[in-house]
Chain A
Amino acid sequence: MKYVDEFRSGELAKNISAKIKAAVDPERSYNLMEFCGGHTHAIFRYGIQDLMPDNIHFIHGPGCPVCVLPTSRIDQALYLLEHNDIILCSYGDLLRVPATDGKSLLKAKAGGSDVRMVYSTQDALKIARDNPDREVLFFAIGFETTTPASAIAIQQAADEGLKNFTLFCNHVLTPAAIQNILESPEVREIGSVSIDGFFGPSHVSAIIGSRPYEFFAEEFQRPVVIAGFEPLDVMQSTLMLIHQINEDRFEVENEYGRVVTRDGNQKAQKLVAETFELRPLFEWRGLGEVPYSALRIREKYKVFDSEQRFNIPKLHSKEIKGCECPTILRGAKRPTDCKLFGTVCFPENPMGSCMVSSEGACAAYWSYGRFRE
């Protein structure tokens, strides 16, 4: 397939692999965090680690939308389903994420709740139009990549005067999460996690541009290379990071120039800014409460805000005991460090969110390479 196969070529991979092997300093190790689950997925799916020298370590970051969603938000969605006659629409991955007491949206669906998997916010709008006498709630999650689609849905609903559509906003922001990781004691003080460089997000950066990372590179003195999701993108970006690290540079470089610009997609940014505003505090699984790290719907569109339309109580959510998802999401532990991994926690029966999505570090470890560890 054109524009895809070119970025998966074995020949080119061999070339880059040779360059990486020639460039690394054998006396040191390189700890590179890929923020995005998309990169984690690519590393495992294409077997990129096999083409790397032993002293390159990929540390899997928190950039998997379903992984960082706190249990409490799914508990709240389940509460809504239980207490209201609603149609809940959600992207596929989210359905299997475990909530308190082993519940999940998928189990709620099996129990008779009207939960529907959709591919886009447009599907949810259509369901709302087709069911005018029922409340349709879209469970919106994701980083800056999926936020513009939610903004469009809200604006369309407003234009059409849809009375039965609301959006449960759980959109989160990448820069705030990266900053939180870099400021965490594990990285800053204890030094138990050393991160020498970052792969910058690809789809997120298509929206926000490369400019927002300039602050981190400077402030935390870590190189950032914005990398595409194809395997050769990841390899080329690895080489670029190695060069920066070897030369003591900490710049923002853009490997994914075919899509990402410095300023990003300004039309999308404007749309998002019109529709959403910053939330002072939002809970992330793994990172805890992070200030100004998420969005909520602006007052102007409050009739489309599920949190305004429905009474959503604060619930006492429980995480599974022993689940290391939070630490794994910060890159401080590997999936194999978790006692539950592969003993009671499998993709068929996930205990934590990282085992759910194929972008989650645990699911990727288990599904693509469990025997190597």
Chain B
Amino acid sequence: MPQPRNIYNRPLDLKNGTIDMSHGSGGRAMAQLIEKLFIRYFDNELLRQGDDQATFNIPSGRMSISTDGHVISPLFFPGGDIGSLSIHGTLNDVSMSGANPLYLSAGFIIEEGFPLADLERIVKSMGEAARDAGVAVVTGDTKVVERGKGDGVFITTTAVGTIPEGVNISGNRATPGDCILVSGTIGDHGVAILSSRENLEFETTLQSDSAALHTLIAKMVKRVPNIHCLRDPTRGGVATTLNEISQQSKVGMRIEENQLPIHPAVHAACELLGLDPLYVANEGKLICICAEENAPTLLELMRSDPLGREAAIIGEVTKDPNSFVEMNTTLGGSRIIDWLVGEQLPRIC
């Protein structure tokens, strides 16, 4: 019996090949890239239908949608890469509403000349992250830009999910007297990234905390449907997230420095570089704000899950017309925790 004709003129050279403009042109090369790389690693029924969109039935109730562009440098870092991060980051954004994520989409903008081997490593890692999370990438897009017009690869992902009945989580629901919880050590991701930046290599065993938190969140909202706020303190760190929520809810906050869970390696790196861990990014942590009576339950639940083992109650919501976030220092004084200004730059002295 004759074999079906191979429609591609030459095999995709995943070992030594590079991306060229034809991979984004809509022609055969692009179809080949999609089949040999994206479908191979994302494989699922909806994607295999081969249409320009994925179609599916929706359950009743409220849905949640979120999108996130990933432009991280370096692309590969201790504890993850741009691929796994692009899955975790967006799943976290959508599930911070209490939603169970259902589907993902992924858009790639790839720079001409980008090694196919690196792309395969990234797509494989994305596929694994999506499979581990139990959420499929069901549609996508590929574009190629000329050399010098991108930084290797940019990945934008979107996720949709459904919100369980009776759950109403929003940054505007923090109420004076509420407790503020964090699900674990802060600043791990940012310091892991810094440690692998070209001009700053320092040795650490520290890994990025990049992780999808929706399974932990599902448990939390099941036990306490009336959680007021959930947010992942990514760029700008815990300090910026607390300021955002204070502003949104028109309340103040007071946190305790000696309650902040900080990994010793992060503490040391921040001391060395003159950074404040409160402003360093996280990719696998959440801030939870809930009524005081629910805090012990949630703390115990978080600590019983590997994703929240080092969870802590770090402070409380206060009444403050200025929406200031204040911190009682370990020394016994207090200070304002302001928004992050620009990028955190190292001090000179």
Contact = CB atoms under 8 A, between A and B. Distances in A.
Interface stretch (A26-34, A115-123, A159-167, A187-195): A115-123
Interface in B305-349: 322, 324, 328-336, 338, 341-342, 345-349
A96 interface: yes
A347 B341 contact: yes
Given A4-B271, A119-B199, A145-B349, A47 B342 contact: no
A348 B342 contact: yes
B346 A92 contact: yes
Given A4-B271, A118-B199, A119-B273, A359 B332 contact: no
Contacts of B267: 1, 4
B7 interface: no
Given A119-B199, A123-B199, A370-B336, A51 B331 contact: yes
Interface string A78-106: 00000000000001111110000000000
A1 B264 contact: yes
Interface residues of B, number: 27
Contacts of B342: 96, 347-348
A10 B267 CA distance: 18
A136 to B, nearest CB: 13
A143 B348 CA distance: 10
B200 interface: yes
A348 B271 CA distance: 24
A231 interface: yes
A359 B347 contact: yes
Contacts of A359: 347-349
Contacts of B322: 371
A323 interface: no
Nearest to B345: A92
Contact of A49 (B258, B271, B333): B333
B338 A1 contact: no
Contacts of A211: none
Interface in B157-207: 199-200
Nearest to B267: A1
Nearest to A370: B336
A357 B333 contact: no
A36 interface: yes
A46 B349 contact: no
Nearest to B276: A45
Interface string A32-52: 000011100100111111110
Contacts of A213: none
B235 to A, nearest CB: 16
A369 interface: yes
B331 A119 contact: no
B193 to A, nearest CB: 15
Contacts of A10: 258, 329-332
Given A367-B336, A371-B322, A9 B348 contact: no
Given A13-B332, A368-B338, A369-B335, A141 B348 contact: yes
Nearest to B343: A92
A9 B346 contact: no
A93 B341 contact: no
A142 B271 contact: no
Contacts of B345: 92-93, 95-96, 117
A47 B338 CA distance: 14
Interface of B: 199-200, 258, 264, 267-268, 271, 273, 322, 324, 328-336, 338, 341-342, 345-349
Interface of A: 1, 4, 8-10, 13-14, 17, 36-38, 41, 44-51, 64-66, 91-96, 116-119, 123, 126, 141-143, 145-146, 203, 231-232, 347-348, 357-359, 366-371
Given A41-B347, A93-B348, 7 more contacts: A4-B271, A46-B329, A47-B331, A117-B345, A123-B199, A359-B348, A371-B336
What are the 7 A-B residue pairs with the smallest beta carbon separation, nearest first?
Answer: A47-B333, A92-B345, A50-B333, A347-B341, A368-B335, A46-B331, A367-B338
